[in-house]
């Protein structure tokens, strides 16, 4: 017979969108399996879900996180699940990211009518995305396209393809989590199309001191790489309005990090890439990110994009 402590449900707060519920459901299943305790989902409405304004107008990534964090601090739930790319880089007082599970596909994906790819879209085709980074990348790659600023969940965006849009660009991980990989007509390679820091990864946040509750779900390699990506963003003091892509990977003991800053119109870009052995430094993610950020700033990144740092 289990004791009362082990039979007490772990309450996980989540946004109410189909994607958030799918992501949190995956976390809940893993947590139930590892902890042996029941897990229940607590749905929380956020400003980012309610508003139709652009992310830049709303104030960036934090619009999806603040209501969840308030609920966690108020004791309405025991943990919350975020898409890591939506989470501000600054730590929140009283809360800790206790687990970052294994990352899913970090790539962006094109979902176009009639099986079209980015190169075969006709001149003047209408492509929807609400991301300043993706907009800059589209302008750099295909300046002839008409870019449409869109909001809404994945199904809403996909529903516009073939109606008033020729294509949309979405995160491959989100499409996979919703079982919508069949809508993809082209995966956009990381080398030529770097994605948002942390894209494809989830973050599980708890009240500081309660990390053990979910720490079994943490994936060490994923944490190394996404912390490197997000540290570049933090050092540059860049939010979601800055067109920045960053991707890291670990291979044979080496941590590789590459970041790219675009001008909003896509006509200019700067790239920096560095690597180091994980065993050579105490904090490899911070070390490699500092090298990359310093090089970007020394090369004039602050003249291209809205950055706040002068490292």
For tokens 């897990």, the residue is 39
Which residues, other chains included, contact 130 with Cβ-Cβ below 8 Å and sequence gap of 6+? 54, 55, 149, 150, 151
Q: Which of 78, 86, 166, 287 is catalytic?
A: 86
Q: Does the active-site annotation cover 149?
A: no
Which residues, other chains included, contact 290 with Cβ-Cβ below 8 Å and sequence gap of 6+? 231, 235, 311
Which residues are 112's β-sheet partners? Answer: 167
What DSSP string runs through 187-206? EEPTTTS---TTTT-EEEEE
Q: Give, for 260, the enclosing helix (H) or strand (E).
A: strand 254-262
Distance CA 294, CA 284 (A): 15
Distance CA 176, CA 20 (A): 13
For tokens 């990348």, the residue is 137
The C-alpha R_g of the chain, in whole angstroms, comes to 20
For 273, counting Cβ atoms within 10 Å of its Cβ (0-12 exposed, 13-18 middle, 19+ buried), the class is middle
Distance CA 265, CA 269 (A): 10
Residues 14, 44: contact at Cβ < 8 Å?
Answer: yes
Which residues, other chains included, contact 233 with Cβ-Cβ below 8 Å and sequence gap of 6+? 89, 197, 244, 246
Phi, psi of 170 (to 5 degrees): -135, 165
Catalytic machinery residues: 86
């Amino acid at each position: 017979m289990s004791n009362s402590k082990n039979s007490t449900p772990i309450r996980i707060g989540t946004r109410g969108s189909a994607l958030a519920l799918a992501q949190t459901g995956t976390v809940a299943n893993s947590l139930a399996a590892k902890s042996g305790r029941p897990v229940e989902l607590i749905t929380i409405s956020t400003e980012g879900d309610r508003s139709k304004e652009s992310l830049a107008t709303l104030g960036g990534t934090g619009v999806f996180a603040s209501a969840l964090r308030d609920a966690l601090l108020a004791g309405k739930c025991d943990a919350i699940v975020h898409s890591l790319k939506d989470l501000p880089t600054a730590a929140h007082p009283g809360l800790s990211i206790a687990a970052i599970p294994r990352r899913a596909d970090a790539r962006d994906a094109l979902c176009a009518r009639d099986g079209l790819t980015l190169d075969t879209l006709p001149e003047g085709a209408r492509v929807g995305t609400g991301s300043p980074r993706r907009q800059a990348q589209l302008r750099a790659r295909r300046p002839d396209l008409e870019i449409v600023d869109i909001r809404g969940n994945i199904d809403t965006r996909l529903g516009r393809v073939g109606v008033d849009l020729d294509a949309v660009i979405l995160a491959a991980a989100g499409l996979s989590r919703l079982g919508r990989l069949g809508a993809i007509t082209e995966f956009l390679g990381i080398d030529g199309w770097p994605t948002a820091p942390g894209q494809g990864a989830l973050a599980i946040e708890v009240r500081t001191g309660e990390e053990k509750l979910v720490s079994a779900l943490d994936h060490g390699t994923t944490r190394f790489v996404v912390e490197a990506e997000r540290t570049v963003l933090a050092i540059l003091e860049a939010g979601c309005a800055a067109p920045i892509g960053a991707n890291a990977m670990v291979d044979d003991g080496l941590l590789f990090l590459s970041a790219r800053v675009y001008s909003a119109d896509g006509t200019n870009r700067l790239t920096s890439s560095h690597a180091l052995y994980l065993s050579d430094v105490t904090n490899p993610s911070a070390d490699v990110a500092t090298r990359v950020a310093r090089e970007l700033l020394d090369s004039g990144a602050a003249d291209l994009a809205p950055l706040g740092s002068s490292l």
